[in-house]
Amino acid sequence: MPDGFLPVNKKDLQERGWDTPDFLFICGDAYVDHPSFGHAVISRLLEDAGYRVGMINQPDWRSTQDFTRLGRPRLGVMVSSGVLDSMINNYTAAKRKRREDVYSPGGKGGRRPDRALIVYCNRVREAFGDIPLIIGGLEASLRRFAHYDYWQDTVRSSILLDTRADLLVYGNGEKAILEIAALLEKGVPVKSLKSIRGTAYACSYDDLPQKIKAEMDSPGQNILVLPSREQVTQNMRDYARAFMIQYREQNAFLGRTLIQTDGTRYVVQNRPMEPATQMELDRVYALPYQRTWHPMYDKEGGVPALQEVKFSITSHRGCFGGCSFCAIGYHQGRVIQPRSKQSILDEAKLLTQEKDFKGYIHDVGGPTANFRNPACKKQLKEGACQGRECLYPEPCKNLEVSHDAYLDLLRAVSSLPKVKRVFIRSGVRFDYVLRDKKGKFLEELCKNHVSGQLKVAPEHVSNKVLRYMGKPSREVYESFVQKYNAMNQRLGKKQFLVPYFISGHPGSTLDDAIELALYIKRLGYTPEQVQQFIPVPGTLSTCMYYTGLDPRDMKPLYVARTEKEQALQRALLQFALPKNRALVEEALRKAGRSDLIGYGRDCLIPPLKSHPREGSGSQGTGKRRSARQNGSTKSLGRGKSKRITK
């Protein structure tokens, strides 16, 4: 057996002297023993607690053979589809099959099935029958209740019902997994595990705990009953109402037990698990990871996803940014959970000992790099506010803005022997930077932690669309651009901003897409890649997409729902690409903006020969003006704008 890795076959079991593992961990990702991969964290945590864990990664789902190669586990089976929802991993926003999969050996697609969690669990039941079956990871977490599924364009039942799993662990699952394992070890039947925080289960009415039955008749204080799966399928307002209850109750301090019926079945979500303490989080990252892929993948070139994180350090979990299209708040929660400075320094020292370390730590951050501390002291006792966001629509008056701890951390890591530079790749929240009156962070960021380009996420420039996105206004972003440029000029550095934009977000019309295209044109910037909005279960934006309502106020909004509408908006953001010309022209004519077809300074495309007069005369000479001439920053550069899903 390769030194340090957990068993993956019978030979590995024999070398460890095991007859059978206590738990099988089945995962849709290749086996990478690194703390950025959930299957590595959970399996190492179980090992540290004294359990024998066998790994079955990317099994052939066409039969049960791969699922049984380590034998029947003593205590149970845990299943995750991987770091991403398997449908997002397998399909583009246009619902086309992806050829590549960075979480698979050699980056080749096709190594996991669609709806991997369901397929794997069905094989587990086929192979082992009535064995304790626990599901977790992002796909399970975001699909715990009835949810809109973009790929089928319908509302699907809770994934608990489709997988026939006994328990679903949502969010960061370390505490829940250890509690489940300890109870199973004691011989407690899995069907009796109905009170563990951070878990959900499905059962009939007769099998509901007596306490829940007693409180269902007068819900409110400890229990909330959601609109049923039938109701949310038939009525958009019920869907939006159900989602907002789920969203607001994602609070470990004040959140209540949630119940949703689906036919004769009851899906019960227990209260969220408490945020991890610093000591608990430090323990997770101190486990004996091999920090690489299993050697069985060497002949295929390894697993590409590791390269993005191999020399990066996770400094915290959680995010209070409140972006509508992001599932982190629903999955990890909005309360920042930081690791200790010493824990991070210990990991940094490990990185410097890697044989291919070249002196550069690519990132020290989390979902948002510069959120090192909770948004306010109240969050430590009551969690994030259920009725409002920390930064949207305006920063909360109780928001505590400080980069002192983060700067201290960056300085400490930078001072380690063998470390030449420490960069920030995971992105900074620029409106939070602007609120820091000391100004030291922006200076040190530009001076020490930018590698030529800084990635930022304005996402759009239409203030109407930005409101739906839960993002700061255009004016806030432009203020940051000015300060960033001024700081780099003062430091004598030529460093650019690479902005991320989303096309087709709910609320965005063709007029809004044109406004963004004109903004891009005036910058002299052509994004090589644009993220088309994908409705991911568990986000406010997906609720908007499906219902046509903003669930925060129940007001209707426009949704670019058809493939053609989405293609027109996406093409506008890349108007300079020859392949998009026909779509851009169609979009402009449909919006009544044929004035933007021509040779003027604001024209997006030149006319065809059949329209020789369009855009001539008053629009100017037709020469492309630089971003500075157009009264904006030229710092956006032409770096590849590749969106990274966090």
301 and 437 fall within a common domain: yes
Q: How far apart are CA 99 and CA 256, in angstroms?
A: 42
296 has a pLDDT exceeding 90: yes
287 and 389 fall within a common domain: yes
CB 360 within 8 A of CB 425: no
**3 band by pLDDT with thresholds 50, 70 and 90:** confident
- What pLDDT is attached to residue 217? 75
Asked if the structure places residue 190 within a domain, the reply is: yes
Residue range of the domain that includes 71: 10-199
Asked if the structure places residue 87 within a domain, the reply is: yes
102 and 14 fall within a common domain: yes
- What pLDDT is attached to residue 141? 97
319 and 447 fall within a common domain: yes
CB 429 within 8 A of CB 370: yes
Q: What is the 3-state secondary structure (H, E, C) of 599-618?
A: CCCCCCECCCCCCCCCCCCC
Lowest mean pLDDT among 194-203, 211-220, 263-272, 520-529: 211-220
In one letter, which amino acid is 384?
A
- What pLDDT is attached to residue 215? 87
Q: Each residue of 461-486: pLDDT tens digit?
A: 999 999 999 999 999 999 999 999 99
Mean pLDDT (whole number) for 613-618: 48
191 and 290 fall within a common domain: no
Asked if the structure places residue 41 within a domain, the reply is: yes
117 and 28 fall within a common domain: yes
Asked if the structure places residue 210 within a domain, the reply is: no
Nearest alpha-carbon partner for 336 in 369, 359, 306, 312: 369
300 and 159 fall within a common domain: no
Asked if the structure places residue 604 within a domain, the reply is: no
324 and 188 fall within a common domain: no
What are the residues facing 113 on neighbouring strands? none
Backbone angles phi, psi at 230, to 5 degrees: -65, -40
Query: What one-character DSSP code corresponds to residue 38?
Result: H
33 and 163 fall within a common domain: yes
Mean pLDDT (whole number) for 348-359: 97
CATH number at residue 148: 3.40.50.2300
Q: Each residue of 378-419: pLDDT tens digit?
A: 998 899 998 889 998 899 999 999 999 999 999 999 999 999
- What pLDDT is attached to residue 645? 33
**Residue 418 token pair:** 């063998």
**611 band by pLDDT with thresholds 50, 70 and 90:** low
646 has a pLDDT exceeding 90: no
* Count of the separate structural domains present in the chain: 2
Asked if the structure places residue 627 within a domain, the reply is: no
Q: How far apart are CA 99 and CA 108, in angstroms?
A: 7
Query: What one-character DSSP code corresponds to residue 594?
Result: G
Radius of gyration of the chain (CA): 25
Domain C-terminal end among 165, 199, 233: 199
pLDDT greater at residue 220 or residue 53: 53
Across 411-529, the runs of DSSP E, i.e. the strands, are 421-422, 453-459, 496-503
Mean pLDDT (whole number) for 147-174: 97
Asked if the structure places residue 637 within a domain, the reply is: no
DSSP 3-state assignment of 72? Answer: coil
Asked if the structure places residue 237 within a domain, the reply is: no
Domain C-terminal end among 504, 537, 570: 537
Any idea which residue has 């992002």 for tokens? Answer: 138
CATH number at residue 477: 3.80.30.20
- What pLDDT is attached to residue 335? 94
Mean pLDDT (whole number) for 75-99: 96
141: Cβ contacts below 8 Å, ≥ 6 apart: 168, 169, 170, 171, 330, 331, 538
What are the residues facing 587 on neighbouring strands? none
138 and 282 fall within a common domain: no
291 and 179 fall within a common domain: no
CB 127 within 8 A of CB 68: yes
**How high does pLDDT run on average in the chain?**
92
Q: What distances in angstroms separate CA 200 from CA 51, 86, 246, 273, one per listed residue?
A: 23, 20, 13, 11
Domain C-terminal end among 480, 504, 537: 537
191 and 284 fall within a common domain: no
**304 band by pLDDT with thresholds 50, 70 and 90:** very high
CB 296 within 8 A of CB 8: yes
Q: Each residue of 429-445: pLDDT tens digit?
A: 999 999 998 889 999 99
- What pLDDT is attached to residue 626? 35
Q: Are strands 154-156 and 147-149 parallel, antiparallel or unpaired?
A: antiparallel
**Residue 586 token pair:** 């169609």
528 has a pLDDT exceeding 90: no
Using left for φ > 0, alpha for ψ between -120 and 50, and beta otherwise, residue 202 falls in beta
- What pLDDT is attached to residue 615? 53
**Residue 80 token pair:** 């995750």
Q: How far apart are CA 241 and CA 249, in angstroms?
A: 12
